[in-house]
Every structure is written in C-alpha cells, then in structure tokens.
Chain A
C-alpha cells in the first residue's frame, strides 16, 4: 500500500527560486496537511485542507501557497525560496475524526542556499 507519497525526497534551491512539493494519498482521506520540521521545534503546521476545494492557513503559512488539486493531491509551493525555508517538509492525511490516526509521507528535505 502506497499511503502518502511525497516528491521529491531531496531538493536544493537557490534563494529566490520557486518550486512545488507534491503530495498524494490513496486512502480516500478528506483532510490533508503540510508540516515543516525544524530541530528543537517539532512539527509546525503550514497549511491544511479539510476537503477538496478548501484550504486554510496553519501556524506558519508565510512564504507558502497550497493547492488541493483533487481529493488525492495537495501541493505546497514556494514562490521565492529563502534560507529560512530550509527544513524537512511532511505531508499528512487523515479522516476527519477527533481520535483518528494521521498518516505521513516520508518527507522532503529542502535546502535553500
């Protein structure tokens, strides 16, 4: 079972470049999320999508945009990358229940130089 698939796994960008991180899930989940993981700070929510066609800001949305292309796919775009966006990015999905398990992709390690 594929679960949550993220691409790419690694990326190096120059300051000012743009890129899109792709995420797809095959579990028919309505809710999808983008987190960033930084040392000593745990995971912080960037954006989330409660259902197809809706997106909302999380804790740290500045410098990012998202698109919920369909129920399966939720992409994260950096329009003009900055060194402060060097991080590991995780996509996750879940059903919309209080006690539910979230399923995570393997992450994208992004370095902005």
Chain B
C-alpha cells in the first residue's frame, strides 16, 4: 500500500545547527510529496512540496529533493533557529487518487535550544 515513514523524534539541536529529517515513501506511480509543519497549539501548514522526480522544494530556508531512485524526500535546513521548534510531517498524495487525500508520516518533533 501507500505509506510514509519518518525518523522518530524528538530531534534536539542547538541553534545554528544543521538539520536533517529523513522521510521515505512507498507508493504506486508518481506521487506528489509534501512537508507540513505544526507549531505548538496550531493546525498544520504547508512548508514545501515537490511534484516530480528531482524537483527541489524550498521555503523559509528548508529544502527537500524528490528522489525517485531512493523513494526519499528528506528535509534539510542549514542553520536552525529556536522558532523552528515544531512537529514536521512528511506526506504524499498518490497519483491517480481522485480524492487527493494526504497520507502522512508519524511526524518528527524538533526542539531547538538557544
């Protein structure tokens, strides 16, 4: 079936450290891939997306590259800030799914210390 696997958290980093959150997926065809972020007490909001192989999504200093050969979409940021502390969700929409529903990973909590 279609699924998303993320690294377990929490991930604890010092400010200005390099961030990687791993995400791999299983899906038929060519899904669209997304990273959503959830700040404390809020709903999810889109961070970035990529719609085809080798596409790179980027936003707010975060990047992720759609790797078809490794079925991965790892999230990276060169220098994290305290304000990046949140839960990050990797997700996909399966191609050919007329409901366009998101399939989420389990989420990775990031804590950035000053």
Contacts and interface: CB of A to CB of B under 8 A. Distances in A.
A65 to B, nearest CB: 18
A40 B89 CA distance: 11
Contacts, number: 62
Contacts of B99: 31, 48, 50, 56
Interface residues of B, number: 24
Interface string B22-55: 0000000000100000000111111001010000
B93 A98 contact: yes
A106 interface: yes
Question: Chain B's interface: helix, strand, loop or mixed, by majority?
Answer: loop
Interface stretch (B11-19, B74-82, B100-108): B100-108
Contacts of A40: 106
B100 A98 contact: yes
Interface residues of A, number: 28
A74 interface: no
Contact of A90 (B44, B103, B105): B44
A48 B101 contact: yes
A100 interface: yes
Interface in A82-113: 90, 92, 94, 96-102, 104-107
B95 interface: yes
Interface of B: 4, 6, 32, 41-46, 49, 51, 89, 93, 95, 98-107
